[in-house]
A and B are shown apart, each in its own frame.
Chain A
Amino acid sequence: MNNLLLVPVVAPFLIGTILILFKNHHRTQRVISAITAIIMLVFAFYITYEVYVNGIQTVELGTWVPPFGIVLVADLFAGLMVILSSIVGVVCLFFAFQTISPEREKFFFYPFYMYLLAGVHGAFLTGDLFNLFVFFEVMLIASYILIVHGGTKYQLRESFKYVVINVFASIFFIVGIAYIYGITGTLNMAQIAERVAELEQTGVLNAIAVLFLLVFGMKGALFPLYFWLPNSYFGPPSAIAALFGGLLTKVGIYAIIRTFTLIFVHDPGFTHNLILWLAAGTMFFGVLGAVAQFDFKRILSFHIISQVGYMALGLGLYSQLAIAGAIYYIAHHIIVKSALFLFCGATEKITGTTDLKKMSGLLKTYPVLGWLFLVTAISLAGIPPLSGFFSKFALILDGIDQGRYFIVFISLLVGILTLFSMMKIFIYVFWGEESLKGEQRNRPLMPLLMPILPLVALTVILGIGAEPIFSFSMEVAEQILEPSNYINAVLKE
């Protein structure tokens, strides 16, 4: 019993509701939401510390004993994800202060920002399949509103498709829950894991596993279900796109890793091989999309897809090293991708466009922005001293160990193509003849840069401090590869 776990879920929800009362006072809203986000970050660190010292923490809502009541569970993986999402939550909030117009702020931007965080944290912490669905919905409904917020013609059109696709996936989530409830008679993930172990996973349980893979794959943008992502992330302002790019697909990936290391682990020859091939497709086709684009935001959106592939690759290889690599990769990706979207927002604020062909030579006027972007970009591509390298290195090492040479080849190829398209952005935006006019030269850069700096610092720290951080992700992987830890902690046997 540890009531602290409720804070990351309940606090943003309550504060979000309070913020609705301050509809016309956007300064008050800013202050309250900033304080909440920072406090949540502190609590996220404290919860993970608690888990690290005392083992997996649970809280039973209403003191109903686990198989019957609702439980929130924090293991190291969930704690790490809550920390990462809180960091992105704080940073994107401060960037939103600089870039979101007051008209948008008045239309309940901050309340839904808080609801989104509540849903994301809830999805990470829940120990119950149906509550996973509910928190997914909380998160998605907030995201529907944030993605259409502002209501431009483009946003309305693409958001409609985004909403329909996600509602469709949610309905199939209910179908999956119906099947698994019909077969195991429970919804508590720990108890489902026990029952599936007794039933032996064949036939219909494999079908359910594929159904869940379909549902979470649609939310997490796995091949071939990623088609909705680039268009819908192009619409909203960069602060929101950074939040989405950092968090939303990772919730889908988190759900895949959680269910496929806890519940559907008894037939890895079928399920995990399938994930491996989907990962290869995701990486390859995602990066091909990125290479073909000439728009800052679209290139970044396609890169989300190709990098989700690396995380799925770690799960597909299904060994301690590979899963540790995937976890390291998730941490690296959330930080770097949010930073890149914020860079995109900063250049958009300066030049007024995200089209690569319409801007050039920003490096002369804004050198700091350019070089920091370069650091983040090569970190994404996986150049050694930065965080992208070590996570990919673990995955590739394990792939070679297991003799999966084709997949290793694809992931190396994708690394090169990633580097190519990041360099394309750098060359088009920052090199060449300066094209800035008039007041575009004198925009104050520091307010835009301040929120991005911590993220750039983090990616450097993750790279230079790879040794302790990698051993931490090995511990996380060890914990999630031993489902009995989780089951015993929840069911108290």
Chain B
Amino acid sequence: MELIMIFLIGIIFSVSTYLILTNSLLRVIFGIVMLSHGAHLLLLTLSGFNDGAPPLLGEEASVYMDPLPQALILTAIVISFGVTAFLLVLGYRTYRAHETDKMDQLRGNADE
């Protein structure tokens, strides 16, 4: 299971690297979203997939899951959700102001 996940994370990271390096605003944002998903999966994978019962007090089980990474990912997902929403709005406003979504046209100096 861990091995499959590591390969999956590798694929996600390479796809998102490709997307971030492209010329379009929206693709860069998609790349960032993909990359954050990859990072969250990595956090889940590296903390281990040992099978066990839910970590509840009072349930007598010999092995428990580690609940901490899931709590961390929950926080990280909320943050990346907020940042993604902000990025989409910012990307849209940039597109409207400059009337282009090509990254190589979004450069130049301060005096327009």
Contacts and interface: CB of A to CB of B under 8 A. Distances in A.
Nearest to B91: A160
A406 interface: no
Interface of B: 20, 25, 28, 32, 35-36, 39-40, 42-43, 45-48, 68-69, 72, 75-76, 79-80, 82-83, 86-87, 90-91, 93-94, 97-98, 106-107, 110, 112
Given A168-B20, A168-B32, A175-B39, A157 B94 contact: yes
Contacts of A171: 32, 35-36, 39, 80
A380 interface: no
A178 B80 CA distance: 16
Given A167-B36, A174-B40, A178-B42, 12 more contacts: A148-B90, A154-B112, A156-B97, A157-B106, A160-B91, A160-B106, A164-B28, A167-B83, A167-B87, A171-B32, A174-B39, A182-B47
Contacts of B94: 156-157, 160
Interface residues of A, number: 32
Contacts of A156: 90, 93-94, 97-98
A163 interface: yes
A229 to B, nearest CB: 15
B45 to A, nearest CB: 8
A178 B69 CA distance: 9
B69 A144 contact: no
26 contacts: A130-B75, A144-B90, A145-B86, A151-B97, A153-B112, A156-B94, A156-B97, A157-B94, A160-B90, A160-B91, A160-B94, A168-B20, A168-B32, A170-B79, A171-B35, A171-B39, A171-B80, A172-B39, A174-B43, A175-B43, A178-B46, A179-B46, A181-B68, A181-B69, A181-B72, A182-B48
Contacts of A110: none
Contacts of B112: 153-154
A167 B43 contact: no
B46 A181 contact: yes
A148 B98 CA distance: 15
Contacts, number: 93
Contact of B25 (A153, A160, A178): A160
B106 A130 contact: no
A137 interface: yes
Contact of B47 (A174, A181, A234): A181
A9 B46 CA distance: 31
A205 to B, nearest CB: 14
Contact of A164 (B32, B43, B107): B32
Q: Give the top 3 A-B pairs by smallest Cβ distance, nearest first.
A: A182-B46, A178-B43, A174-B39
A490 interface: no
A177 B87 CA distance: 24
A234 B110 contact: yes
A145 B40 CA distance: 25
A175 B68 CA distance: 15
A419 interface: no
Given A130-B72, A130-B75, A178 B39 contact: yes
A22 to B, nearest CB: 23
Interface in A142-167: 144-145, 148, 151, 153-154, 156-157, 159-160, 163-164, 167
A363 interface: no
Given A154-B110, A167-B87, A177 B98 contact: no
Interface centre among A130, A134, A174 (most CB of B within 10 A): A174
Interface string A341-379: 000000000000000000000000000000000000000
B14 to A, nearest CB: 14
Contacts of A423: none
A153 B97 contact: yes
A141 interface: yes
Contacts of B36: 167, 171, 174
A134 B32 contact: no
Contacts of A157: 94, 97-98, 106-107
A156 B90 CA distance: 7
B25 to A, nearest CB: 7
Contact of B75 (A134, A145, A164, A178): A134
Contact of B90 (A159, A178, A182): A159
Nearest to A177: B43
Given A134-B75, A174-B39, A144 B86 contact: yes
Contacts of B48: 182
A177 B97 CA distance: 38
A187 B75 CA distance: 14
Interface string A105-140: 000000000000000000000000010011001000
Given A141-B83, A156-B98, A164-B28, A174 B69 contact: no
